[in-house]
Amino acid sequence: MPKHAVIVAHPSPDSFTLSVARTYCAGVRAAGQSAVLRDLYRINFDPILKESEQPGDGPFTPAADVAAELDLLAGSSAFVLVYPIWFGTPPAMLKGYIERVLGSGLSPRALHSHLGRPPHPLLGGKQLLSFSSSGSTRQWLADQGAWVSLQTIFDGYLARAFWMDTPHHVHFESIHEGLSQAKVAEHLATVEQQASAMCSRLAAATSAAKAIAGEPRHPQPQAQA
């Protein structure tokens, strides 16, 4: 059963951002797959990278809270980032999670190694999907250079640095207090469609992997004695 790690960062539990994360998880579970929701503000995640957590070339042991997160994320086939855009970038809380958890133990030398480098043990070959939102329009973000920067640094760079599959990004613009329920429903329907599409991709990949391994795609019932 494919597993989706959904990582969301917003201080308000009633925010549009949290609604997106919950809707995605519900869609995944409705498709018979597994979703792990990491609500960074509600779990009171500490985003501050400690001096002892700076990776080098020697043995690396993650802090206890980071090790617990890595255990929860282990085995995920898709990583879904859900966040608002503040001052042209994602919240510092999410950046801290990437530094401390997703990048745990990844040294600068590993990032700059040549082709043939081993895949990232947690993220290598996995799907990366982002849902972002902003009070302004995407065109305004583009005019400021923020949209291209976000795609370059927070989508493309993460995919390349962590050896992930081609990233996909869904953005909701003009999200503000007083947004009509009809518009919210329309956006959440888009989230449901994205969850369904991701589940289909992962199911197909799982089926193909089983076929290559010589396993039956669907377990056959055993004959009664």
Mind listing the pLDDT tens digit for each residue in 14-57? 999 999 999 999 999 999 999 999 999 999 999 999 988 887 76
CA atoms within 13 A on the CB side of 46: 9
**CATH number of the 3-212 domain:** 3.40.50.360
Q: Which percentage of the chain shows pLDDT scores above 70? A: 88
d(CA 121, CA 74): 9
Q: What is the dihedral of CA 212, 218, 221, 223, to 10 degrees?
A: -40
Alpha-carbon dihedral sign for residues 122, 166, 82, 191: negative
First and final C-alpha spacing in the chain: 29
Q: Binning pLDDT at 50, 70 and 90, where does residue 206 land?
A: confident
Q: Binning pLDDT at 50, 70 and 90, where does residue 163 land?
A: confident
The better pLDDT of the pair 80, 164 is held by 80
Helix axes 16-30, 181-212, angle to 10 degrees: 40
Report whether 119 contacts 163 (CB < 8 A): yes
Say whether pLDDT at 9 is over 50.
Answer: yes
Residue pLDDT, tens place only, 111-152? 665 445 667 789 989 999 999 999 999 999 999 988 898 888
How many Cβ atoms are within 10 Å of 32's Cβ, its own excluded? 10
Alpha helices in 100-145 (DSSP H): 108-111, 138-143
State the DSSP code for 205.
Answer: H
d(CA 122, CA 70): 8
Say whether pLDDT at 217 is over 90.
Answer: no
Q: Binning pLDDT at 50, 70 and 90, where does residue 218 land?
A: low
d(CA 214, CA 191): 35
